[in-house]
Amino acid sequence: MRYLIESGPRTVRLVEEPSPDLVAGHVRVAVAHVGVCHSDTARVAAARGPFPERIGHEVSGVVSESRADDLPVGTRVVAYVTDGYADELVVPRDRIVPLHPDCDLVDAALAEPLACVIGGVEMLDLAHVPHVVLVGAGFMGLLTLRILVARG
């Protein structure tokens, strides 16, 4: 398997090694897409370590091997991980969410940032607020706008 590590201050490196064994309650995911999150780029830019450290957490892919009864091979999933910049991952079942059949794997890689936006909006008490001012029309701002519009 191949994966990316932050190997030193402001340095990332591609590592190749044998795939780990699959243990009970885990699945092997062939990674399809990984979002490049600001938290990953900020971590590398800050050069604080610890080193080496695997990074990447906005992952979608397909189960290629399974030791979890309810996730057969071929299941399209998103994974909650911290080592997502890889061509494959071994992930515990409780960190996997199967995808709806209509969900594209590219779109699915947005599940983690979308969850952050939903969590942030849910922290606000907007029930009696007639207007909302959204500052910033970047990626997260646009996701926030979409959620606010969807919620009326």
Q: How do residues 11-29 score in pLDDT, each as one tens digit?
A: 999 999 999 999 999 999 9
Rounded to the nearest 5 degrees, what angle is found at the Cα of 112, between the Cα atoms of 15 and 116?
A: 135
pLDDT tens for each residue of 68-79:
999 999 999 999
Q: Is 118 left (phi over 0), alpha (psi -120 to 50) or beta?
A: alpha
Global pTM?
Answer: 0.87
Using pLDDT thresholds of 50, 70 and 90, give the confidence band for residue 152. confident
Q: What is the mean pLDDT of the chain?
A: 94
Rounded mean pLDDT, 34-43: 91
Tokens of 3: 């994966």
Rounded mean pLDDT, 44-68: 95
- Residue 51 half-sphere exposure toward CB, CA atoms < 13 A: 14
What percentage of residues in the chain have a pLDDT greater than 90?
Answer: 86
Whether the per-residue pLDDT at 32 is higher than 90: the answer is yes
pLDDT tens for each residue of 110-129:
999 999 999 999 999 888 88
